[in-house]
Amino acid sequence: MEVYNATVIKENEKVFLVFDLITEQLRIPITEDLPNDVKNVFNKLITKLKAGEISFNLMNPGTDLYSQVSIEYIDQLNSELSNVYKELVHHGLLSKG
């Protein structure tokens, strides 16, 4: 299983949960309601799962509300990623090689 880092970043008035996949960074807005952005991140994560199981670790979480929400978000995300990976295995949808 590959474990990647995630961080909470603030840019001006906006806050994002950023997933660092080494080759790219995926950003989910925390302070804005942008469902298409979230959907795009999940689609990329599902594609990444086809190559192998992944999970995320929140780096340097603070005690602020955004960090606490992000901790819960990542816990839930890791659980969902694990379930989706098992389904991909079950249906023979993993990438070969």
Strand 14-20 with 54-58, pairing: unpaired
Residues 62, 69: Cα–Cα separation, whole Å: 11
- Say whether pLDDT at 97 is over 70: no
- The pLDDT value recorded for residue 91 is 95
Residues 66, 16: Cα–Cα separation, whole Å: 9
Query: What is the Cβ-side half-sphere exposure of residue 9, based on CA atoms within 13 angstroms?
Result: 11
Confidence of residue 95 (pLDDT cuts 50, 70, 90): confident
Percent pLDDT > 70 in the chain is 99
Beta-bridge mates of residue 17: 8, 28
Percent pLDDT > 90 in the chain is 96
